[in-house]
Amino acid sequence: MRSRLFVFISIIQAILFLGHWFLYVTIAHFWGGAASSWIAKLAFGILSISFVVASLRGWYSYHPLVRFFYVAAAVWLGFASYFLLASVACWLVYALSAVAGLGWQPAWIASILFAAAAATALYGIFNAANPRVTRITVALANLPAQWRGKTAALVSDLHLGHVRNIGFARRVVEKIKALQPDIVFVAGDLYDGVAADFEKLAQPWKDLISSAETASLGVFYIAGNHEEFYRNAEYLPPLLRAGIKVLENEKVEIDGLQLAGVHYRDAANIERYRSILRNMHLDRNRASVLLLHAPVQTPISDEAGISLQFSGHTHGGQFFPWTLIAKRVWGQLNHGLARFGNLQVYTAYGTGTWGPPLRVGTWPEIVLVKFE
């Protein structure tokens, strides 16, 4: 396990180093002067390792200085992503200018394109920090009469940790309270995988559950892939004390509706996932809802008679150009409501962010589902 982790980190660091090298070469060529000095070389060298170093330290500590370092490194990584695109564009525009004999000054080319990149990154930061409500209506066959007109709030991928912390958790919970759903679903990656004060982060959920105006049917949670960075004893007890109901690969009855939940790691293997669903003894003649972090194994879910699956995980790619890759990889499961046979799947963009706290081409969402 450690050797695989070392290889993964080494590959990521190599990619980051090459990206920063290309960024430095571009800036040095187009601006020259101080941009090509040894100080600039040193700065880009340090920046190239900042996110990996911050991540390694952040896994073990949530000291304020560690959090500040992590946030700064994550923000820089977002800006660097768009500066890298600007660098590619600089060389293309420069070549076009040379071929066409336009005589455009390299410094002006770089200034315009890097300014556009910085503006895009700034927009992405503000966009990612403001979750919006997505309202959908889902019709389910054999839905109990008492569920018609009821609403559920779906959140996923809050990634609470160093970047999104207690303030963000409170804002999300306050938005959920304002919607006054009958039930709340938390579809995994509640935490980011870094060190955190889990007792403190669970407090907003305790306040929501104790509220008389919302979530009268409860708050239900399943784990995502980022929870696998922790031991269950680290993060689960505070959630349970807050009143959140953790679905341990099981089915429960909620006012006549079958609600099932499978943790991310247990859906990775097809046969294990099929066995878990089979052991739930789902009644095909009644509506059922499944919480599963990633929108995977849909043929198995349909085979088991699941009516509706709620997932997250994809982030929709989070920000351009990764949005294009995510759409290519996940297809119609990238975001929104899709149908596979008798199964409907809603994949949420997620409420928080992972890595660079940016969203460009996607938005952070709280999904309010009305049942018909």
Over residues 54-109, the pLDDT tens digits come to 999 999 999 999 999 999 999 999 999 999 999 999 999 999 999 999 989 999 99
Q: Which of these three, 81, 99, 123, is where a domain ends? A: 123
Q: Mark whether 219 and 94 lie in a shared domain.
A: no
Cα three-residue angle 49-50-55, rounded to 5 degrees: 105
Q: Mark whether 119 and 161 lie in a shared domain.
A: no
Q: What is the pLDDT of residue 211?
A: 82
Number of domains in the chain: 2
Q: Which of these three, 123, 151, 181, is where a domain ends? A: 123
Q: Mark whether 111 and 180 lie in a shared domain.
A: no
Range of the domain at 76: 2-123
The residues of the chain scoring below 70 in pLDDT are 1-2
Identify which of 207, 160, 204, 159 has the alpha carbon closest to the alpha carbon of residue 349. Answer: 159
Q: Mark whether 109 and 163 lie in a shared domain.
A: no
Q: Mark whether 78 and 135 lie in a shared domain.
A: no
Q: Mark whether 52 and 156 lie in a shared domain.
A: no
Q: What is the pLDDT of residue 1?
A: 54
Q: What is the pLDDT of residue 2?
A: 63
Buried b (16+ CB within 10 A) or exposed e, 301-329: bbebbbbbbbbbbbbbbbbbebbeebbee
Q: Mark whether 7 and 139 lie in a shared domain.
A: no
Q: Mark whether 163 and 51 lie in a shared domain.
A: no
Q: Mark whether 11 and 102 lie in a shared domain.
A: yes
Q: What is the CATH number of the domain that holds 143?
A: 3.60.21.10
Q: Mark whether 269 and 354 lie in a shared domain.
A: yes
Q: Mark whether 241 and 327 lie in a shared domain.
A: yes
- The pTM of this model reads 0.92
Tokens representing residue 9 in the block = 């980190």
Q: Which of these three, 76, 102, 123, is where a domain ends? A: 123
Q: Mark whether 283 and 322 lie in a shared domain.
A: yes
Identify which of 272, 289, 296 has the alpha carbon closest to the alpha carbon of residue 141. Answer: 289
Half-sphere exposure of 244 (CA within 13 A, CB side): 29
